[in-house]
Structure 1
């Protein structure tokens, strides 16, 4: 339930979009049309209805309809596996889980073929076993739980920041400092709902913290290591762009720049994942080798300096 506090009148769909940044305006309009919104206790299906200070809006989200998940024989580069969890070196181009528009060919489809249907329902029907995600074109280590106990424990480690996620990326430019921290909340870009942006908490942004360290300077490019405290969508990519040093090859936050190397996506790689085993308590450290395109990029940039 939401209370309108702005003094000026505003369209219902626009007001909801401004106050619920995790839902697209198109999604909100469909919810209004579908009779999931009430205004001052009365059903409201008019997205253009003006709301004003003192109005009470109630939005009810319908239960998600489960997607039909089909096992698919997609090769996996397995870094670690036992009866409780599996850590995979995800390639570029592989979406983590099915969603509208990507109902097949995902990591989940591959895992169902590899692990069997016992994975179904672990942590929910929509994203079985998924503990955290990587962007479609970000490569590297990702952990998936095989049991409910492992899923709960691993998610708790992510939330408590005891699981350590370390990335390598190549950025444009040369930062003056050797390292630093970006502490800037993230949310949907108000001008483009498909992008993320620096958005204040007051306007719906969520806390996001990225630690970075220079690993190698190569002319007007820099290899940087990143450690995440939070795992927001596109976090490293947005924070790097915020620093003025976008990730090389990033089609969204570094568009218009080229290095003359054919990259399948942004030069960002989840290089190391360290966690506590949910059953034994032992430390598990998975190191994902750099993918060939990343290695090629480094080779080309270094040769230009010679």
Structure 2
């Protein structure tokens, strides 16, 4: 995790973009990258969320609930004492608007995947190379995606029915999470529709199931307006130094799909979202991107 000495306020920096080699670079992001590429390296075990989710839960009043995560294990102390924890409220009154100059480049393609019931959520793990996302010249490789209901982040205090996280890791073990909001509507989510039969097998008691090649491009997370801030994993060990990129576009999901995701897990909880955490003067950047993506079969 990023040590206390690396926690900085970026609000004093100019927000005028610099142009270098036809690429827009924002000074605030340069400072953010200095934080992430400093001497504090993230250990491999800190990159992964806890897979055995029986060790914690989301129940109110539970001794293993969110307010006690940081007390359950020494390695989880950031959940209680961290100053850059996630999720947070993405308040429009607090954002710093960045000119439309950044290019968000995704390069996802089909790879063998496994669907896993982790106890509190359903996750898709790609076993091979499923592609990556390029952020300011650094490549983050897609590892897994999972869902939380209701959403963990909020916009101006409003939560949504579902939030999806795509977890990426760089060669230096830095973490980038791409998030998307969903509200219940008449149109189901196409990616979840593709997985419904596999999720139903988990309802029947299976914990892990090989599902063949899955193309993450089908998740459809490419909008052109994003929130970005520096935070943490939202489950133990709550590792800090995570770059969050939350899509402003609200997608639709069917009520049946949200119910299926909760029915399949083993904890019988009606929700699996961590309470919002203090912002602690962190900058929230708001981008208008020109997105570009390509997909390989």
State whether TM-score is above 0.5. no
Higher relative contact order (Cα pairs below 8 Å, separated by 6+ residues): 2
- Structure number, greater radius of gyration: 1
Task: Give the TM-score taking structure 1 as reference length.
Answer: 0.19
Task: Give the TM-score taking structure 2 as reference length.
Answer: 0.19
